[in-house]
Each structure stands twice: as structure tokens, then as C-alpha cells.
Amino acid sequence: MKREEIVMLCTSDLAGQVRGKGFPARDYETRLRKGIGWTPTNSMITAHGPIAPSPWGPFGDTVLVPDPNTHVRVDFGPDHAAENFIMGDICLLDGTPWPVCPRSFLKRVVAALEERHGLRVRAAFEHEFVYDGVDERPNASYALDAFRRQDRFAETYLGALQQAGLELDTFMPEFGPMQYEVTVGPAVGVTAADQAVAVRETARAVATRLGRGVSFTPILRPDAVGNGVHVHFSLFEAATGRPVNHDRGHKDGLSATAGAFIFGILAKMPSITALTAASTISYLRLTPNRWSAAYNNLGYRDREAGVRICPVFADAGADISRQYHFEFRAADAAASPYLVLGAILSAGLHGLDRGLPMAQVCEGAPQSLPAPELERLGITRLPQSLDAALDLFEADADMDAMIGADLKRAYLAHKRFEAELMRNLSDEEQCARYRAAY
């Protein structure tokens, strides 16, 4: 029987789920021009299935408009369907961006950063995930044996990423049970979030073709190490490409521009955690002494800092200014990468717009510092539940103009409903639900 290939036109929604509609591949050029119809209330579908109370109900129409630069096609041979999808923006019928579209939100922030300060961002998302094609064994962390036991998954994944146009940096067995990590090269602006979607969906596609599964759940179970999404980023001048992060005269190498940008991120981290750590179980991971972010501190090569200054490799003749960059660590894959990067950049933009002072590096673990020192540095504990994070996000109006009232209202309704769905479940039961969802 003749087969007809299908392309899925998708959005990464408020739940960090990739949803969309399919069309025959032969209609690709036509769909690039006219898109495909979409329903506003689709954005209120939670990761667990039930629809949160929708401000639109059965009313309204939008359109998914594809971006050809995001097209991913991976050929898995004659015995499997090709993986074929493209990301799009949710627009109103007149073609203008729908205010609740996560990708359009990130586009707004990226444009504002360039218009107001002449800056662009280069970013890469570092993902941890669970692969169920290996059994759980003690002492598997970073082990050659753990790499060996995944067998064809890594090689097939590398080949699939190459077909998808992504540059693999590293793949390795991580510390947690059945946990692996993948990193790809950096990209500019919205493309970095597009690539994060492709990294996740390609991993799921490869595992499915091998008869296995992966999960990017924030944490496998309460006693396990979590699966983080660490966002590496740096700023550069839009006009010249010159990096602006480094100042060799500063004791930690931090420039005044980057210092104000990071100060904004640290100041807003407790509230934007609602967008970057978007599940109820995310907060099982964001605890001290767990190699995860628990405070809004800046650390120098500190893997428990909310934001860390990453190491540079000072080979002879190396340009340190092009290596010097930062890592945001309070994020996971329950969040749409568009909302994650948009939230980080919105907070940094707040720092630049307000002319905030330079961020200061926290020397040592925040949980070990006396209260006066924490107060001097402006360090606070990140929220310890999704409910608390949503309360902070709702109360913080400083970024409302950038986020937009419609997106903020819809997100709060969506996530409060999700939190209520999980309310009477144990931590173990919640972990099981999120493992299945992500």
C-alpha cells in the first residue's frame, strides 16, 4: 500500500507539551503560506490531560503559522514513519501574534533586548533525561558500562540530530538512575528554544523507534536526582557581534552590562521560577545540597548556584571574552523552552532597563551563610512549591508589560489548575504522573 507522509505543525504550549495538527507533506509549500487553524482553548490542556478553566471556552479562532527554519525531518528507514514536524507561531486571523503564544512571547523579548540595548543573546539548553532501555544499577554514574548498555540509542540519536540540523556537543550517562545528558551547540535568540524542542522530540522519536521510551520529567522519584534543563547564555552586540560579558579588570571577570543583566535575573528569579520550573515536582529538585539551584545567587563555577559563571579554557591565544558565559540552573523540561528563555531574558532586560547594579558573586553555599550576609547580597530561598512560585509570579508586576496580561492570566489559571489536580496525590504518585507526561 502506498504511504503518504504527514508533517505535524506544532506549538510548544503552556504545559511544555508539543501539540499541533498534521497535513500531507505534499501540501508543505501551501501550508507555509496559510498555516492551519488552531483553537485558543487548546492552550489550556494540561500535561495530565484535563483542560484548565478557559477564558475562551468554545469561542475564537487562531492560526498556527509555520516557521520553515524550524522544520525537522528524520528518516528512520522503510520500517518506520519519518519524524516530520515544524514549529509555528500562534497568530490571530489577521496574522498578528496571539498574545498567549509562548514563541511569540520570546520573540517580543528578543526584539526588545535589541531595540533598547542593541544586544542579542546566544544560548544553549543542556538536557537531562531518563532512558528506560537500561536497567537501574548502582555505581552507573558517568560509567562506560552505563554508556555501553544504552547500545544503539546514542548512535541513532546522534544520527537523528544530524538529520535535524543540530550540532551534538556531548552525550553521557549522568548521576541519576537511568539518567543521560545531551548538549548541543549554541544558537541565537529564538532558534535556541527551537533547538531545545527538537532535542527533546528527537530523543522521544528515537526511543519510540527502538521500542523504548525517554522521559524529561523534572524528577524520577522523590529520592532521585532530578532532570534539570541548564540554560547557558551570553550577550553580544547586535551590530558588531562583539561579546559584552567579560571584563578582565573585574575580579570574577564580569562586565558592567552583564552584571546588571544578571542582577535582574537574580532579583526576579523567585517569581520567574513559576515559568522555568513549571511542575509541582520541580520543587522536590530545587533543594540545597542536591547539585541543583535552591537560592537566587550568582556563583563562580558553583553547580548549586541559581546562576553560575561558567569556566573558560585559557589555552594560548584563546579569546576568553568569547568563552565567558553564564548558566541558569533553576529550570526543567516541564516548562516550554520559549517560556524559560523568555522569562530569563525578561528578567535580565528588567536589570538593564532599570540600570540595576552589578550582581555580586556569592562566596560559599547560601545555606551556610549568616542572615546578614544573605541580606547584603539580596539572596533568598527560591519558592518551595509551585503554589508559592505562582503567588510570587502573580504579585510581581515589573515584567507585566513584556509578558502581557493575557499570557500571564492564562498561565496562572493553567498552572493553578494543574497544582490542584496534584493536590491529593503523594509525591511518589505525582512523580509517576509527570514521568508519563514528559
Query: Residue 320's pLDDT band (boundaries 50, 70, 90)?
Result: confident
- The per-residue pLDDT for 4 is 92
Take residue 330 and report the three cell numbers written for it: 533553576
- The per-residue pLDDT for 148 is 96
Q: What is the CATH number of the domain that holds 27?
A: 3.10.20.70
* Residue 201 in domain: yes
- The per-residue pLDDT for 36 is 98
Q: What is the CATH number of the domain that holds 143?
A: 3.30.590.10
* Residue 195 in domain: yes
Of 66, 82, 98, the residue that ends a domain is 98
* CA dihedral over 229, 233, 399, 39, signed as positive or negative: negative
Q: Same structural domain for residues 63 and 165?
A: no
Query: Residue 390's pLDDT band (boundaries 50, 70, 90)?
Result: very high
Q: Same structural domain for residues 267 and 295?
A: yes
* Residue 1 in domain: no
Q: Which structural domain range is residue 350 located in?
A: 104-437
This prediction has a pTM of 0.97
Give the tens place of pLDDT for each residue, 332-386. Answer: 999 999 999 999 999 999 999 999 999 999 998 999 999 999 999 999 999 999 9
* Residue 146 in domain: yes
Query: Residue 98's pLDDT band (boundaries 50, 70, 90)?
Result: very high
- The per-residue pLDDT for 198 is 98
Q: Same structural domain for residues 81 and 110?
A: no
Residue 101 exposed, middle or buried by CB count within 10 Å (0-12, 13-18, 19+): buried
User: What is the 8-class DSSP label of residue 48?
Assistant: T
* Residue 400 in domain: yes
Q: Same structural domain for residues 290 and 428?
A: yes
- The per-residue pLDDT for 317 is 59
- State the total domains in the chain: 2
- The per-residue pLDDT for 316 is 54
User: CB neighbours of 203 closer than 8 A, spacing ≥ 6?
Assistant: 127, 129, 157, 182, 214, 216
Q: Same structural domain for residues 146 and 243?
A: yes
Of 34, 68, 98, the residue that ends a domain is 98
Give the tens place of pLDDT for each residue, 230-261. Answer: 999 999 999 999 999 999 999 999 999 999 99
* Residues linked to residue 126 through DSSP beta bridges, in sequence order: 183, 230
**Are 181 and 127 in contact, with CB atoms under 8 Å apart?**
yes
Q: Same structural domain for residues 194 and 82?
A: no
Q: Same structural domain for residues 76 and 108?
A: no
Q: Same structural domain for residues 314 and 402?
A: yes
- The per-residue pLDDT for 1 is 78
Average pLDDT (8-18) is 98
Average pLDDT (23-52) is 97
Q: Same structural domain for residues 361 and 388?
A: yes
β 179-184/119-131 pair status: antiparallel
How crowded is residue 311: how many other Cβ atoms within 10 Å of its Cβ?
11
- The per-residue pLDDT for 186 is 96
Q: Same structural domain for residues 66 and 181?
A: no
User: CB neighbours of 162 closer than 8 A, spacing ≥ 6?
Assistant: 168
Q: Same structural domain for residues 269 and 152?
A: yes
Average pLDDT (303-321) is 84
Of 65, 98, 131, the residue that ends a domain is 98
Q: Same structural domain for residues 116 and 68?
A: no
Query: Residue 139's pLDDT band (boundaries 50, 70, 90)?
Result: confident
